[in-house]
Structures are given as structure tokens and as C-alpha cells.
Amino acid sequence: MIVVFPSIIPNGYKAMALYPFIFVSEPKGTYVFKLLSKGLEYSKAVGRWERMIAHERVHHKQQKELLFIGFLLVYLYFHLRYGYRHNPMEKEAVHGRKKRFGWTEYI
């Protein structure tokens, strides 16, 4: 379920997954319209939205396989150790989920 809730999203981010919700900073129409006004073509703008939602759905799967609290602990550990971009759970979400516990291959 996608919920528009800008105040819960940390600065600099557009979306956040907390199973079973995906919080986004703005609705799809606003998101796409902003990209169109910057000159991006429609199909690419919609594609960015769809990739963002697919990314957050990977985090849902990670949260389910680690029973949510485990996800929070492991994610926080990786975040402190590797930073956001090199966090193995972010890498799996960026590259797409291939199998259960696929994030372990990015450690």
C-alpha cells in the first residue's frame, strides 16, 4: 500500500518502506509532473516512479525475511558500516531482487 506522507520521509529521500506500507513524499502525478517540467519525457518519468516503488518493494521482502526487527538491526549496522549507497540491502534494492537473502551477496 502506497501512502503519501511527506513528513515521515527523511530529507533528501523520496520514499521509505515500512512493511506493509510504502511512504512517499508526493503522489505519483506530482512526482511525474515535476520530472516532465524538467524536460524528461513521459515514459521515462513514469519509469522512474515505477523503479522507486519496485525498490521499496524489495525492502518489504527483506523486512519480511528478517521479521522486521531483524531488518532494522541489520540495516542500521550496514548503514553505519558502509553508508547508504554501499549498504548491501540498498544494493540489492537497486539491482533488483534475484533470490531470498540476496543482499548477503553484496556484503
Q: Specify the long-range contacts of residues 38-46, CB closer than 8 Å, at least 24 apart.
A: none
Give the total of residues touching Zn ion (CB under 5 A): 2
Q: Which of 23, 49, 93, 103 binds Zn ion (CB under 5 A)?
A: 93
Binding segment (CB under 5 A) for Zn ion, from list 25-33, 39-47, 63-71, 82-90: 82-90
Asked if residue 15 binds Zn ion (CB under 5 A), the reply is no
Q: Is 57 helix (H, G, I), strand (E, B) or coil?
A: helix
Asked if residue 45 binds Zn ion (CB under 5 A), the reply is no
